[in-house]
Chains A and B, each alone.
Chain A
Amino acid sequence: AQSVTQPDIHITVSEGASLELRCNYSYGATPYLFWYVQSPGQGLQLLLKYFSGDTLVQGIKGFEAEFKRSQSSFNLRKPSVHWSDAAEYFCANSGAGSYQLTFGKGTKLSVIP
């Protein structure tokens, strides 16, 4: 069965500092990987996704993620965090022929001014 692990439940960073949110997946074939962000009281917004090709993926709001098959990881990064980035971030995966997303438990990001 597919599983997604986000080891960090809560991360606090200072505004302007760099950010890395960790995600590990478990899937036999080539996974399709996603990062979503959820602000309080809102639905999920897609930040970026990876299917194949270049392992470094650029997304919206200045985010990027790198797919590392050897480590089964798909970590999300941002070089300089803004106060508006405070939210909860979810890593998710699916696969070929799959009609569902499997989500990690999420990482809540707090930003200190």
Chain B
Amino acid sequence: KAGVTQTPRYLIKTRGQQVTLSCSPISGHRSVSWYQQTPGQGLQFLFEYFSETQRNKGNFPGRFSGRQFSNSRSEMNVSTLELGDSALYLCASSSLGGGEETQYFGPGTRLLVL
């Protein structure tokens, strides 16, 4: 099976712009989660989607949003970018998203905000 894929892999934006990141889960997986990784804060949970519904959301401002499509592919959007949004954004998928399941991670999208 192909792994989790994320596009684009690298992105440079300027403050105030918006960005959309894409994630394609492993075939058959219906749960997609997003994480932000920064040197200062480490890995932080953004949100989780299952069957097009957001089931859980981390402690991030409303500028961070996401959605999931009927084929389980997911996108996350960050509006009005700030310098602090520079990070590696990781997507993970699992079959049903339960706490005991293994999350399979993609390679990430590295976002640099100038």
Binding site for B on A (CB under 8 A): 32, 34, 36, 41-46, 49, 51, 90, 92, 94-106
Contact = CB atoms under 8 A, between A and B. Distances in A.
Interface of B: 4, 31, 33, 35, 42-45, 48, 50, 55-56, 58, 90, 92, 97-100, 102-108
B112 to A, nearest CB: 14
A46 B48 CA distance: 19
29 contacts: A41-B107, A43-B4, A43-B105, A43-B107, A43-B108, A45-B105, A46-B103, A46-B104, A90-B43, A92-B43, A94-B100, A96-B100, A97-B99, A98-B56, A99-B31, A99-B48, A99-B98, A100-B45, A100-B48, A100-B56, A101-B35, A101-B43, A101-B45, A101-B103, A103-B35, A103-B42, A105-B42, A106-B42, A106-B43
B90 A100 contact: no
Chain B contact residues, majority secondary structure: strand
Contact of B100 (A43, A44, A46, A51): A51
A105 B90 CA distance: 15
A100 B50 CA distance: 12
Given A43-B105, A43-B106, A99 B90 contact: no
Given A42-B107, A99-B31, A94 B99 contact: yes
A96 B99 CA distance: 5
- Choose among A42, A51, A96, A100 the residue with the greatest number of B CB atoms under 10 Å from its CB: A100
Contacts of A97: 99
Contact of A95 (B44, B97, B99, B107): B99
